[in-house]
Amino acid sequence: MRGGFAKNDWQAFFLAITLASCSGGDDSVSPAVVKAASGGTPPPQYAASCGACHAVGVAGAPKTGDSEAWVARLNARGMDGLIASVRNGVNAMPPGGLCNSCSDEEHAELINYMAAAN
């Protein structure tokens, strides 16, 4: 695997999502779940592909570490919807989000990092 998430990190993330969905409450993703998904170390593609815009919120991009903005997007569109936006481009973000070689799993890892980074 090329990213920074270990297998156990992904298992913990999906367990947290599964448990949250079994609670009988609303289906939203909580900021605590997003925080639990982050290992704190940026994936290797972050600096070259995401950081220039998401670090400062260029053209309305959600800022890295603004879990409230990311959770709102995850609740509204889901991870698959956000990955589709990255793949196709949205607003000022070009298709592929400057990481055309990234897999969907790597894009998800980048999104999770940006949602949870401090």
pLDDT per residue as tens, the chain (118 positions): 454 545 555 455 544 444 444 444 444 444 444 444 555 789 999 999 999 999 999 999 999 999 999 999 999 999 999 999 999 999 999 999 999 999 999 999 999 999 987 6
Fold of 7-116: Cytochrome Bc1 Complex; Chain D, domain 2 (1.10.760)
| Segments making up each domain of the chain, as ranges | 7-116
Could you please report the per-residue DSSP string of the chain? --SS--HHHHHHHHHHHHHHHTSSS--PPPHHHHHHH--SSPPTTIIIIIHHHHTTTGGGPPPTT-HHHHHHHHHHHHHHHHHHHHHH-BTTBPGGGG-TT--HHHHHHHHHHHHH--
CA distance 52 to 40: 18
pLDDT in tens, 65-95: 999 999 999 999 999 999 999 999 999 999 9
